[in-house]
Structure 1
Amino acid sequence: MAAQVLNTIGKIGVGLAIGASVVNTALYNVDGGSRAVIFDRFTGVKPNVVGEGTHFLIPLVQRAIIYDIRSRPRNVPVITGSKGIVGDECLSDDLQNVQITLRVLFRPIPKELPHIYATLGEDYDERVLPSITNEVLKAVVAQFDAGELITQREIVSQRVSEELTERATQFGLILDDISLTHLTFGKEFTAAVELKQVAQQEAERARFLVEKAEQHKKASIISAEGDSQAAGLLAKAFEAGEALVELRRLEAAEDIALQLSRSRNVVYLPANQSTLISLPQM
């Protein structure tokens, strides 16, 4: 009798354990910032997207695929060629190899997750982002020469952003931010740019020296013209009369007297000294 009871209890325990295991495998959680897609072995990918929370599925028949729908960063390096240029102002008439690193913030469109899983799988970003980034960057960069890529970087970035956003939408992706974080050229082009900058600085310095010499020349001419005009005015004053000479003599005598009166060793003006005061009157 006791053996039968123990056997019954054992069967009940095994049944409960199996039931608990089945219930556990029938439950799955979708965390915040995530969505789930259900794959059914008989009907395929379900069209509905499962939101956050705890949900049921049929064990061994259905499987939940969890997707993170929050924005994630990704850096995509690309090596491409700029537009060939011909002219006196260019550094080279050949295509320049450009190494560009593009940083994007991407996330999937929640309602497109069933289609993304059915066509791209769980690693959709590895399949999509490198290919469309290479395609768009090469198409856009080929429209600019090396100099324009440097001087018109904002225009290049804006055009890349517009075209890449449009391409990503076709695959069910949203790009929240796109930026060019790295832009370098080949060693030959970089050396040519440095040489051109040095030449421009030397030219600016030479032009400054020329302008400085011109200013000195103009100042000397103006000074000489002023001295000539002053001499002419004095000559006219001497020709007009001797009143100016008498005035200058009195002013000089007054100044000499003032200086002598302040001296400690002279307390009077000697009458026998030859000063401007003792000059004969006109």
Structure 2
Amino acid sequence: MDRNLVNAGALLLALVLVVVAANPLTIVGPGTRGVLLNFGKVQDTILDEGLHLRIPVVQEIVPFSVRVQKTDILAQVGSKDLQEVKLDVAINWHADPSRVNEIFQRVGDETQVVSRILNPAVGEVVKAAAAKKNAEEILTKRPELKAEIDDNLDERLAGFGIVLDSVSLLDVDFTREFAAAIEQKQIAEQEAQRAGYVAQKALREAEAEVNRARGRAESQKLLQETLTPEVLKNKVIEAWDGKFPLVYGGGALPFLDAKLLGLPEKVLSPQP
């Protein structure tokens, strides 16, 4: 009887050890989903975060990240005017949580997604978008280029279960010769703008001088039209201080000249 109990206890202990060694419990961590495999075949069931029980040997749970990931890609492209351009593109992306089993089955894990899907897709989309613009337009119209890359890449990746969160053009690099040509053009444009400003300033000053001269001429004309002999006579009378001008003739006594006062022509003699 005791021997049977010992054998039963040993068997139970061995079974426990086998179960522990087989590890039937699996934890799907935060930011991941579990891809369930039965004898290596991908199942439709996707496991959420948490603790899950699996059948040892028969089932396997592969964790797959659904967090946002950043990938930098350097694309060497040709512009519409056949200039060589290097674009440093950064994309933020994540796997669609509802399609991780499909992604794993068609592509593989996250590393294989980058090498097999992201790198080729970004390269092709960037080349197609850059080929529509001249090299200078790639530099001056970066928002338009980014928007086109964003739209086309989003559509391209959606077919593989990849969600595109954002696209950034970190750097645009040209050949040394083309960069020097752009710099010279910018300098020439700045000098032309400066010359145009000087010319506009001179033109405004000339117009102001013409307006001032026209104003002076009109003022003189108006003055001539308003200063009639009668007006001048009145101004003389208004300015008279009450003293009669004396004119000395050949005699001993002075006499008044009425013409100087604008009075009727008669001789006024001062009172003795």
Give the alignment's TM-score, normalised by structure 1.
Answer: 0.72
Is 1:246 paired with 2:271?
Answer: no
Q: SS state of the match for residue 100, structure 1?
A: strand
Question: How many residues are treated as equivalent by the alignment?
Answer: 241
Aligned residue number for residue 63 of structure 1: 60
Is 1:127 paired with 2:127?
Answer: no
1:116 aligned to which of 94, 97, 103? 103
> 1:218-248, CA deviations, whole angstroms, 9 ceiling, x for partnerless residues?
3333333444444445555666344265268
1:39 aligned to which of 37, 40, 47? 37
Identical residues among aligned pairs (%): 28
Q: Which amino acid aligns with 1:81?
A: G
Q: What pairs with 1:188-207 in structure 2 (closer than 5 Å)?
A: 188-207=177-196
- Go from structure 1 to structure 2 and tell me whether the alpha carbon gap of 1:44 and 1:234 turns closer, same or farther (over 3 Å shift): closer
Unaligned runs of 5+ in 1: 85-94, 254-279
Aligned-residue CA RMSD (Å): 3.2
CA contact (8 A) 1:34 1:66 kept: yes
Is 1:224 paired with 2:213?
Answer: yes
State the alpha-carbon separation in 1 of the partners of residues 211 and 102 from structure 2: 85
Q: Which amino acid aligns with 1:246?
A: V
Unaligned runs of 5+ in 2: 242-256, 262-272
Q: What pairs with 1:170-181 in structure 2 (closer than 5 Å)?
A: 170-181=159-170
Q: Which amino acid aligns with 1:27?
A: L
- Go from structure 1 to structure 2 and tell me whether the alpha carbon gap of 1:244 and 1:225 turns closer, same or farther (over 3 Å shift): farther
> 1:135-155, CA deviations, whole angstroms, 9 ceiling, x for partnerless residues?
111011111112322333222
Is 1:54 paired with 2:54?
Answer: no
From the CA coordinates, give the structure whose radius of gyration is larger.
2
Q: Which amino acid aligns with 2:105?
A: A
Aligned residue number for residue 209 of structure 1: 198
Return the offset for 1:196.
1.6
Deviates most, 195-204 or 229-238? 229-238
Q: SS state of the match for residue 107, structure 1?
A: strand
